[in-house]
Amino acid sequence: MPEKTENNRRLVVVSNRVADFKAKFQTGGLAVALGDALKASKGLWFGWSGDTRDDALSVPPHVEHVAGLTVATIDLTDKEAEGYYFGYANRCLWPALHYRLDLAQSNEEQSEIYFQVNARFADALMPLITPDDIIWVNDYHLIPLAEELRGRGCEARIGFFLHTPFPSPEIFAAVPSQKRLGNALMVYDVVGFQTTSDRDNFRRYVTASLDGEQLQGDRVTAQGETTLASVFPIGIDVEHFKKLADEEDTKGPLLPDVGSDMKTIIGVDRLDYTKGLPERLRAFEVLLEQFPEHHGKVRLVQIAPPTREGLPVYQEIRENVERLVGRINGRFGDLSWQPVIYMHRGVAQHILVHLFRRSDVGFVTPLHDGMNLVAKEYIAAQAAQDPGVLVLSRFAGAAEQLREALLINPHDIQETARALDRALTMPRQERWARHNRLWQRIETYDLFNWRDSFIQSFAESDTNPVNLFPKEAGAA
């Protein structure tokens, strides 16, 4: 293990999955955001390989040096993957954190396996870390990890970042095993949230359900543990997206060239029920119903890569979306105009950026979303002098920052359709003014600000200052 000084601490990122650096595309927000951030610290990324095997319990972690960092993974047994990942994490926690208690299913066996797999992560991670490391745990799959690591004598600083919303305390209190989760969160030195409302929900939950107290600053205390609960809105590498968009602008159109009158609305989301895709398609349909002047002059391009296909609820959402696409195209389309272009696959990032740049409206309508990076990527890809308009759900975490977007309630189909019409007809001066302010916001709160401020919060919870990213290291 290399020797470390105070200013040269190693970052250890732990997440359910590590990014696959050999894959052609990264479609998950987490993978896209953390990959570059980790390389700058020559750190360690630890997670599940995504593979299962019968003898997983007796196989040591697979350690690989790849793309400037160390990647260590463990395999799970089928039973572990089913109970931990498909079971408690994605059948129970994911829907509940997105206010879908109606979809949250749990049985005791699955939640038990979730806690056991977290213990297995801790067993495998302990030999790979030192007390001087800084451990950054990501997302709802791994809430109990700090408790497990502390139980094994880990003295390193440990922070947790929740990429999803933290729902209102009444919702979280209804999650099976919620007290175990709540107490486990309190063990972290820092718990990071995407928005002030997530943080405030957590603070209220700590007082209401854990008999805790809110202290000065962002600190909360309960059950003898004190943690810093703060807001770190995730961002994107704005310069990277802008540069890519400028390059793509010099290339010919990817979409069928159907004349300069045709406007394009773009939607890009994992095909997840939280992303509001049926509501979005319905709003587009209502736009065509109520504003016939757009017939033949607007198209919706929806790119929706598959996700968690093993779960029935994801098969249902796919069927629903594809039925609506067929209905709209059948109802309004003709030989020269296809209103909805739909793709159920991942695409290369430069193609996404090309589409963002050439689209007049970015259409982002999640029913609930931790942040939503697509909204920020759309803004970053616009041409400054002639930008498009972002129509954004007020229930995306991004809405807290992106106030100059046209904010809509995605459940209100009529309101969303009217916002689409307004976006399609907005004068250039207004588009420009809104874009300018949005741009400033995404530029200030970019990926590096997120990374550095989260790391800085570890320093605040420590007596020794931490400088993982000295200036000469440059942008990740």
By CB under 6 A, residue 33 contacts ligand ADQ: yes
User: Are the CB atoms for 19 and 50 separated by under 8 Å?
Assistant: no
Choose, from 141, 163, 294, 368, the residue flagged as catalytic: 163
Residue 112 burial (CB < 10 Å; 0-12/13-18/19+)? middle
268 counts as binding ligand ADQ under rule CB under 6 A: yes
Would you say 189 or 369 has its CB closer to ligand ADQ?
Answer: 369
Closest separation in Å from C-beta 42 to ligand ADQ:
23
Active site (annotated) includes residue 369: yes
* Residue 50 or 305 having the CB closest to ligand ADQ: 305
Distance from C-alpha of 298 to C-alpha of 265, rounded to nearest angstrom: 7
Residue 395 Cβ vs ligand ADQ, minimum distance, rounded to whole Å: 11
Query: CB neighbours (10 Å) of residue 178?
Result: 18
Alpha helix ranges (H) inside 391-446: 413-425, 428-444
**Quick one: 222 or 245, whose CB is closer to ligand ADQ?**
245
- The yes or no reply on residue 113 touching ligand ADQ (CB under 6 A) is no
Out of 234, 238, 361, 399, which residue is the one contacting ligand ADQ (CB under 6 A)? Answer: 234
Residue 244 or 298: the one with the smaller Cβ distance to ligand ADQ is 244
| Alpha-carbon gap, residue 59 to 19, rounded angstroms | 21
**Least distance between ligand ADQ and beta carbon 354 (Å):** 12
User: Given CA atoms 419, 420, 425, 427 in this order, what sign does their dihedral have?
Assistant: positive
Instruction: By CB under 6 A, tell whether 32 contacts ligand ADQ.
Output: yes
Least spacing, CB of residue 77 vs ligand ADQ, in Å = 26
318: its two tokens: 């796919």
Nearer to ligand ADQ, 378 or 469 (CB): 378
Q: Are the beta carbons of 303 and 264 closer than 8 angstroms?
A: no
Out of 27, 73, 177, 365, point to the residue binding ligand ADQ (CB under 6 A): 27
Q: How far is the CB of 92 from ligand ADQ (least distance, A)?
A: 16
Rule CB under 6 A: say whether 25 interacts with ligand ADQ.
Answer: yes
Query: What's the sign of the alpha-carbon dihedral 85, 86, 89, 94?
Result: positive
Instruction: Kindly name the residue from 75, 369, 435, 446 that is annotated as catalytic.
Output: 369
The amino acid present at 305, given as its one-letter code, is: P
Give the residue, chosen from 182, 346, 362, 388, that forms a contact with ligand ADQ under the rule CB under 6 A: 346
Does 163 participate in catalysis according to the annotation?
yes
Pairing of strands 11-17, 44-52: parallel
What's the half-sphere exposure (Cβ side, CA atoms, 13 Å) at 250? 4
In 3D space, the residue among 349, 303, 267, 268 whose CA is nearest the CA of residue 25 turns out to be 349
Among the listed residues 347, 383, 407, 426, the single contact to ligand ADQ using CB under 6 A: 347
β-sheet bridge partners, residue 364? 392
Is residue 46 within 8 A of residue 73, CB to CB? The reply is yes
Provide the mask over 301-340, with x wherever binding to ligand ADQ is found by CB under 6 A and - wherever it is not: --x-x-----------------------------------
Binding mask 73-112 for ligand ADQ (x = CB under 6 A): ----------------------------------------
Q: Given its phi and psi angles, is residue 224 left (phi above 0), alpha (psi -120 to 50 degrees) or beta?
A: left
Residue 15 sits in the site that holds ligand ADQ (CB under 6 A): no
Fill in the amino acid letter for 347: V
Q: Which of 413, 257, 255 is nearest to 343 (CA)?
A: 255
**By three-state DSSP, how is residue 48 classified?**
strand
Q: What is the chain's alpha carbon radius of gyration, rounded to the nearest angstrom? A: 23
Q: Measuring CA to CA, how many Å separate 69 from each of 21, 37, 470?
A: 11, 11, 17
Q: How far is the CB of 11 from ligand ADQ (least distance, A)?
A: 17
Which pair of tokens denotes residue 97? Answer: 């954190």
Least Å from the CB of residue 73 to ligand ADQ:
20
Distance CA 136, CA 153 (A): 17
Binding residues among 363-402 for ligand ADQ as defined by CB under 6 A = 369-374, 377
- Per-residue binder mask for ligand ADQ (CB under 6 A), 115-154, x = binder: ----------------------------------------
- For helices 373-380 and 238-249, the axis angle rounded to 10 degrees is 50
User: Minimal distance in Å, beta carbon 83 to ligand ADQ?
Assistant: 22
What DSSP element (H or E) covers 227? strand 225-231
When CB distances to ligand ADQ are compared, the closest residue is 29
| 434: contact with ligand ADQ by CB under 6 A | no
Nearer to ligand ADQ among residue 185 and residue 303 (C-beta): 303
Residues 159-198 vs ligand ADQ: string with x where CB under 6 A? ----xx----------------------------------
In the complex, which residues of this chain contact ligand ADQ (CB under 6 A)? 25, 27-30, 32-33, 163-164, 234, 268, 270, 303, 305, 346-347, 352, 369-374, 377
Residues annotated as catalytic are 163, 369
